[in-house]
Structure 1
Amino acid sequence: MLYYVSSDVDPDATNDGLSEDAPFGSLERIGDIELGPGDQVLLKRGSIFNDQALHIKEGSSGSEDAPIRIAAYGEGAAPVINANGRGQWLEDYNTTEIGGHRYRAVISTALLLKDVRYVEVEGLEITNSRELGNPDGLAYNDRDAMNRTGVAVIAENAGTLRHIVLTGLNIHDVTGNVYDKHLANGGVYFIAHYPKDPSRRETSIARFDDVRIVGNRLDTVGRWGIAVGYTAYLNELDADDYGDGTIDDAAIARYGHTNVLVENNYVKDAGGDAITVMYCDRPLVQYNVAQGAARQVNDADYTATDFGKVAAGIWPWRCKNALFQYNEVFHMRNGAHGNDDGQAWDADYGDGTLYQYNYSHGNTGGTVMFCMGKSVNNTFRYNIAQGDLKGAIDIPDNPDAHVYQNTFVIPEGGTVVRDNHVGGHAVVENNIFYNAQDHAVEGNWTQGGSPVTYSNNLYYHFADMPDDPDGIAVPQGVAVLRDPGSAPTSPDPSGLVRPHGDPETRTVFEGYRPVAQGPAMGVAKRIVDHNGFAPDKDFLGNEAAGGNAVGAIVVP
Structure 2
Amino acid sequence: MMMKLFRSASLMLFIFVTGAVFFAVSASAATYYVDSTGGNDSNTGTDTSTAWKSLSKVNSTTFQPGDRLLLKRGGNWTGTLWPKGSGTTSLPIVIDNYGSGNAPFINGNGNESTVYLYNQQYWEINNLEITNNNGASSRRNGIYVVNENGGTLNHIQIMGNNVHDVSGNNVKDGNGSSGIKIRTIAGSVKSNYQDIRIDGNTVGPRVDRTGIDINSDYWCRTDSGCPGTNNWYPSTNVIISNNYVTDVGGDGIVPMATQGAVVEYNTVNGFNMRSGTVNAGIWAWNADNTTIQYNEAFNGHTSQDGQGFDIDYGQTGTVVQYNYSHDNDGGFILICQPGNAKNDGGIVRYNISQNDKSRVFQLSGPTTNTQVYNNTIYLAPGSSTSPIYVNSWDGYTKSISLTNNIWMLQGAGSWQGLSNISNLTFNYNTIYGVHTSGEPADPNKLTSNPLLADAGSGGIGRNTVNGYKLVSGSPAIGTGTVISNHGGKDYFGNAVSSTSVPNRGAYNGPGVSGPANLMSNGGFEQGNLTPWSNWNTASVISGNAKSGSYAVQLSGGPGSAEQIVNLEPSSTYTLTGYAKTADSSQPVRIGVKNYGGTEQYSAISSSSYAQASITFTTGSSNSTATIYVYKPSGSAKAYGDDFMITKN
Same fold flag (TM > 0.5): yes
Which residue matches 2:332? 367
Code of the aligned partner of 2:505: G
CA distance in 2, matches of 1:240, 1:446: 25
Which residue matches 1:297? 275
Code of the aligned partner of 2:61: I
- Tell me whether 1:461 sits opposite 2:417 in the alignment: no
- Map residues 536-547 of structure 1 onto 2, 5 A cutoff: 536-545=488-497
Within the candidate set 124, 130, 138, 2:128 is matched to 124
- Tell me whether 1:548 sits opposite 2:573 in the alignment: no
Which range moved further: 17-26 or 148-157?
17-26
Contact 1:430–1:456, Cα closer than 8 Å, also in 2:
yes
Query: In structure 1, the residue corresponding to 2:283 is in which secondary structure?
Result: strand
- 1:421, distance to aligned residue in structure 2 (A): 5.7
Code of the aligned partner of 2:114: A
Tell me the alpha carbon deviations over residues 405-457 of structure 1, each in whole angstroms, 9 at most, x when there is no partner. 000112412111126567224211110011022xxx56415357344431110
Which residue matches 1:306? none
CA shift in 2, pair 1:524/1:479, >3 Å = closer
Which residue matches 1:2? 31
- Tell me whether 1:484 sits opposite 2:455 in the alignment: yes
Within the candidate set 469, 477, 480, 1:513 is matched to 469
Code of the aligned partner of 2:368: P
Query: In structure 2, the residue corresponding to 1:552 is in which secondary structure?
Result: coil
- Tell me whether 1:44 sits opposite 2:56 in the alignment: no
Query: In structure 1, the residue corresponding to 2:58 is in which secondary structure?
Result: helix
CA distance in 1, matches of 2:269, 2:129: 20
CA distance in 2, matches of 1:10, 1:482: 60
- Tell me whether 1:16 sits opposite 2:41 in the alignment: no
Query: In structure 2, the residue corresponding to 1:385 is in which secondary structure?
Result: strand
Which residue matches 1:348? 312
CA distance in 1, matches of 2:218, 2:160: 31
CA distance in 2, matches of 1:467, 1:130: 57
CA distance in 1, matches of 2:143, 2:97: 16
Contact 1:297–1:334, Cα closer than 8 Å, also in 2:
no
CA distance in 2, matches of 1:517, 1:405: 18
Which residue matches 1:70? 95
CA distance in 1, matches of 2:185, 2:322: 35
Within the candidate set 365, 383, 395, 2:363 is matched to 395
Contact 2:170–2:176, Cα closer than 8 Å, also in 1:
no
Which residue matches 2:162? 170
CA distance in 2, matches of 1:471, 1:445: 19
- 1:178, distance to aligned residue in structure 2 (A): 1.5
Contact 1:256–1:279, Cα closer than 8 Å, also in 2:
yes
CA distance in 2, matches of 1:149, 1:436: 43
CA distance in 2, matches of 1:110, 1:479: 52
Which of the pair has more CA radius of gyration? 2
Contact 1:152–1:184, Cα closer than 8 Å, also in 2:
no
Which residue matches 1:227? 213
Tell me the alpha carbon deviations over residues 23-61 of structure 1, each in whole angstroms, 9 at most, x when there is no partner. 222111111112110111111111011x3210122xx11
Within the candidate set 147, 152, 156, 2:139 is matched to 147
- 1:364, distance to aligned residue in structure 2 (A): 0.5
Which residue matches 1:424? 397
Which range moved further: 535-544 or 367-376?
367-376
Which residue matches 1:407? 376
Query: In structure 2, the residue corresponding to 1:539 is in which secondary structure?
Result: coil
- 1:9, distance to aligned residue in structure 2 (A): 4.3
CA distance in 2, matches of 1:240, 1:279: 10
Structure 1 residue runs without a partner (length 5+)? 87-107, 135-139, 141-145, 299-308, 492-497, 499-506
- 1:15, distance to aligned residue in structure 2 (A): 2.7
Contact 1:84–1:129, Cα closer than 8 Å, also in 2:
yes
- 1:352, distance to aligned residue in structure 2 (A): 0.7
CA distance in 2, matches of 1:521, 1:67: 51
Code of the aligned partner of 1:217: T
CA shift in 2, pair 1:510/1:421, >3 Å = farther
- Tell me whether 1:34 sits opposite 2:62 in the alignment: yes
- Tell me whether 1:470 sits opposite 2:426 in the alignment: no
- 1:342, distance to aligned residue in structure 2 (A): 0.5
Contact 1:431–1:551, Cα closer than 8 Å, also in 2:
yes
Runs of 4+ with >6 A deviation: none
- 1:82, distance to aligned residue in structure 2 (A): 1.1
TM-score by length of 1: 0.79
CA distance in 2, matches of 1:515, 1:44: 54
Contact 1:443–1:462, Cα closer than 8 Å, also in 2:
no
CA distance in 2, matches of 1:460, 1:276: 35
- 1:181, distance to aligned residue in structure 2 (A): 2.7
Q: CA RMSD in A?
A: 2.1
- 1:521, distance to aligned residue in structure 2 (A): 1.9
Code of the aligned partner of 1:241: G
